[in-house]
Amino acid sequence: MAKMRVSLRFPKGLVTKPIIYQLGYDFNVVTNIRKANIDDQIGWMVLELEGEMSEIEKAIEDLERQRVDVSPIEGDVVEG
């Protein structure tokens, strides 16, 4: 198992969609919201993903496909 923290920025139009719920449903990852600030226009979040690294990578690719800006938080990858 691996854990990775990423910083997410959501553009207008995506802040009302259940994107984080869908990640846990579509991919074999556990999501843990560490910090967030979301209003009706824009949002940001620090999200922890836990699972096999291949599943985490697929989840991140899916976020990027949806136009979510994803930035890894340096030093926050932990292989278990």
| Domain ranges within the chain, ordered by starting residue | 2-79
Coil, helix or strand at residue 76: strand
The CB density around residue 50, as the number of other CB atoms within 10 Å, is 17
| Distance, CA of 45 to CA of 47 (rounded, Å) | 6
pLDDT tens-place string over residues 19-71: 999 999 999 999 999 999 998 889 999 999 999 999 999 999 999 999 999 99
DSSP label at residue 28? S
φ/ψ region of 51 (left if φ > 0, alpha if ψ in -120 to 50, else beta) reads left
User: Does the predicted TM-score (pTM) go above 0.85?
Assistant: yes
Q: What are phi and psi of 36, to 5 degrees?
A: -160, 150
Q: Which residue shows structure tokens 């292989």?
A: 79
CATH architecture of the domain with residue range 2-79: 2-Layer Sandwich (3.30)
Pairing mode, strands 2-10 and 29-38: unpaired
